[in-house]
Amino acid sequence: MPLEAEPREQVTVGVYRDLPEALLAKGKVESAGIECSLVDDNIVRMDWFWANAVGGVKLRVPAESAAAALQLLAAEIPEKLPGDFADYQQPRCPRCRSLNVCFTRLNRPWSYLLAWFGLPVPVPARHWECANCGARWKWEGVGEYDDQQTSDHGTKD
């Protein structure tokens, strides 16, 4: 009779509503050589409406690696990428100077409203949004907002 290895205790280090966010976190932890797995990812993959019902997608790691994984997941967004990416400039929020920004291609409220009335027409919105302060702006590239100190209202001091 073969001996079975005792399962190591697993702890949850992150809970995510969306599968892509969970997969990015898993990739970040795995790239540091920490063993990890996702729980309830297949349920959310089949129907994302179930994400709240199952408590989201959970990222689990062995208990002895939890502190290192939490430190990785809490790391700041880098301003510059390591390596030969000299041309890359991470966009910053012009209001609060945060690096926690994302590009939005779709005006979701209007698109959802039109879909509610039976018109599944995507309404484009090409702007950046800050996850920290909620500011929205258009950014055309390096130089437009660089090194501008802004007040709380997004205007130049």
Together in a domain, 16 and 49: yes
Residues 90 and 140 in one domain: yes
Domain boundary among 32, 49, 73: 73
Task: Judge whether residue 157 has pLDDT over 80.
Answer: no
Domain count of the fold of the chain: 2
Clarify whether residues 152 and 86 are in a common domain.
yes
Residue 21 lies in a domain: yes
pLDDT at 23: 94
Residues 67 and 82 in one domain: no
Average pLDDT over residues 119-143: 75
Residue with tokens 């989201």: 56
Q: Which amino acid is at 46?
A: M
pTM assigned to the model: 0.59
Q: Tell me the C-alpha distance between 94 and 148, whole Å.
A: 7
Q: Supply the range of the domain harboring residue 45.
A: 10-73
Which letter does DSSP use for residue 4 in this model? P
In a domain, 4, yes or no: no
Alpha-helical segments (H) within the chain: 19-31, 41-46, 66-73, 108-116
The answer to whether residues 123 and 53 belong to one domain is no
